[in-house]
Amino acid sequence: MNADLVVVGSGFFGLTIAERAATELGLKVAVLDRRHHIGGNAYSENEAKTGIEVHRYGAHLFHTSNERVWEYVNRFTAFTSYQHKVYTSHKGEVYSMPINLGTINQFFRSSMGPGEARALIQEQAGELAGTDPQNLNDKGIQLIGRPLYEAFIKYYTGKQWQTDPKDLPAEIISRLPVRYNYDNRYFNDTYEGLPVDGYTAWIERMADHPNIEVHLNTDFFDGGEFGREAVRGQVPVIYTGPVDRYFDYAEGDLSWRTIDLEEEVLPIEDFQGCSVMNYPDEDVPYTRIHEFRHFHPERDYTKDATVIMREFSRFAEKGDEPYYPVNTAVDREKLLAYRDLARGEESVLFGGRLGTYKYLDMHMAIGSALSMFDNKIKPHFSGGAKLESGGVDA
Q: List, by residue number, the catalytic residues.
A: 175, 179, 257, 288, 311, 359, 361
Helix (H) or strand (E) holding 21: helix 12-25
Q: Which residue from 106, 50, 62, 81 is spatially nearest to 271, judged by alpha carbons? A: 50
85 Cβ contact list (under 8 Å, min separation 6): 96, 184, 185, 186, 274, 275
CA distance 165 to 323: 20
Q: Which residue from 64, 75, 94, 43 is spatially nearest to 360, judged by alpha carbons? A: 64
Torsion-angle region of 226 (φ positive above 0: left; ψ -120 to 50: alpha; else: beta): alpha
Strands laid side by side in the 5-8 sheet: 212-215, 29-32, 5-8, 237-239, 348-350
Q: Are 73 and 366 in contact (CB under 8 A)?
A: yes
Give how far Cα 142 sits from Cα of 88, 117, 365, Å.
22, 16, 33
Q: Which residue from 257, 307, 265 is spatially nearest to 287, judged by alpha carbons? A: 257
How long, in residues, is the chain? 394
Dihedral over Cα of 63, 172, 281, 321: its sign: positive
Q: Which residue from 282, 278, 307 is spatially nearest to 293, judged by alpha carbons? A: 307
Q: What's the count of helices (H) and strands (E) in the chain, helices before strands?
A: 14, 16
Q: Are 307 and 264 in contact (CB under 8 A)?
A: yes
Nearest-10 Cα torsion for 90, 275, 369, 242? 60
Nearest-10 Cα torsion for 226, 230, 236, 239? 60
Q: Are 112 and 144 in contact (CB under 8 A)?
A: no
